[in-house]
Copies of this chain bind each other. A is one copy, B any other.
Amino acid sequence: MRNDTITAPQGFRAAGVACGIKQSANLDVGLLVADQVCSAAAVFTQNRFCGAPVTVGREHVRSGRLRAIVVNSGCSNVATGRRGTADARAMCRQVAAGLGIAATEVLPSSTGVIGEFLPMEKLSRGIQAALKALSPSAAAGRRFVHAIMTTDTKVKQACERVRLGRARVTVAGCCKGSGMIAPNMATMLGYLTTDAKLPAGELKRLLAGAVEPTFNRVTVDECQSTSDTVAILASGAAAALVSKRQVTAFASALEAVCASLAYQIAADGEGATRVLEITVRGARTPSDAHAAARAIAVSPLVKTAVHGGDPNWGRIVQALGATDVRFEPQRVTVWLDRTVIFTQGAPARHLDRRRLAGLMRRPHVPIAVDLGAGRAADRVLTCDLSREYVTINADYHT
């Protein structure tokens, strides 16, 4: 079977082990290591109560060079003060010592319960085991992604292969995240690998460009996590990107990987049973388009209506009407899939409610709005809001 995990690009090994941080005995330490120093870039949460690993990660990625990523799940090392920062540095030091590299070449991440200290003895044993288990196999890539999961119910990974002249370049990624998902950023933890060769500055620009329409356009509960990190490592083992055309092809592949991962996050939103794709066009400005799409995507009334399979256009226009977005109510048109459900200030005539309810119950529910005010457009992904979301969040101590 073809390897479509984060070890698919040449020059990467991974591991996932269980060290007992999670009471479930599931995998909870992941390690990703490149054979050579990589060009690297990362984007982090903008939440001001960010976790210790984010603080340390920001420092380490500044050079644009990384060799390894170490992640644990089960404990987020957030709001843990100086001891937390020291623990994040210790994680990096141990990995660096095992690999014979500098600690600043390691990016640390932690996800899980907030406000508790990392159990460093367990974690240290886990890192030791992960160092020994490193492998370029697909199985190792899968164990890595399992090791970063918390409330996720599904593994989230994606892989794209592009031909650049004679060479073949691979971009792969995996992520975790199902609650506390909102722009900006969408995912709690996401890791991308590629065997393309390109400078760190270019990589940073391409990463930012890929994150904006993907991870920054998915919301589960509009709650911004304190740990969000998306990092990319480029090993350069396959081919260098030299022409503008090659960079464009690579950028498309990178965005496709991010888009796939973002979609998987929406589909695995806590308690989600279906994905809502909210498209807004005809807005005066891009920011109006974004605000309108987001207002609909975050509305609990829209999300519960979709959960109930109820083609309730009233809640869609209600959400729009509460924004500052510029439009004339009379010029707004709303579609469910390809059916106009609201136009000229009133519900469309002759609606077949049963057919519309059927569309609402599909796994992918596209809602489109034309504001009739301009030419800008945007798109936001979200999921329905279910009883299960409440159950998960009332009972899980983060």
- List residues of chain A with CB under 8 Å of any chain B CB: 46-50, 78-81, 113-115, 179-180, 182, 221-226, 299-301, 304-305, 307-308, 310, 312-315, 317-322, 327, 329, 342, 344-347, 385-387, 389-391, 393-395, 397-398
Contact = CB atoms under 8 A, between A and B. Distances in A.
B300 A223 contact: yes
Contacts of A329: 48-49
Contacts of A81: 344-346
A369 B224 CA distance: 19
Contact of A397 (B225, B312, B317, B347): B312
B300 A226 contact: no
Contacts of A225: 318
A301 B394 contact: no
A119 B117 CA distance: 63
Contacts of A308: 393-395
The A interface is mostly helix, strand or loop, or mixed, namely: loop
A149 to B, nearest CB: 19
Contacts of A342: 79, 115
B318 A47 contact: yes
B304 A390 contact: yes
Q: Which 4 A-B pairs have the closest CB atoms?
A: A308-B394, A114-B314, A304-B393, A49-B321
B48 A180 contact: no
24 contacts: A47-B318, A79-B317, A79-B342, A79-B347, A81-B344, A114-B312, A114-B315, A115-B346, A115-B347, A180-B301, A222-B300, A223-B299, A223-B319, A223-B322, A226-B314, A226-B317, A300-B300, A304-B389, A304-B394, A305-B393, A314-B398, A386-B394, A387-B387, A389-B390
Given A393-B304, A394-B307, A49 B318 contact: yes
A209 to B, nearest CB: 23
Nearest to A81: B346
Contacts of A80: 346
B390 A321 contact: no
Given A114-B314, A305-B394, A224 B346 contact: no
Contacts of A222: 300
Contacts of A46: 322
A390 B307 contact: yes
B318 A114 contact: yes
Nearest to A298: B222
Given A314-B114, A346-B81, A47 B322 contact: yes
Contacts of A226: 314, 317-318, 321
Nearest to A346: B81
B398 A390 contact: no
A308 B395 CA distance: 6
Given A79-B347, A115-B342, 15 more contacts: A47-B321, A47-B322, A48-B329, A81-B346, A113-B314, A114-B312, A114-B315, A114-B318, A180-B301, A223-B301, A223-B318, A304-B390, A310-B395, A389-B390, A390-B390
A346 B390 contact: no
A219 B248 CA distance: 46
A299 B398 CA distance: 14
B224 A318 contact: yes
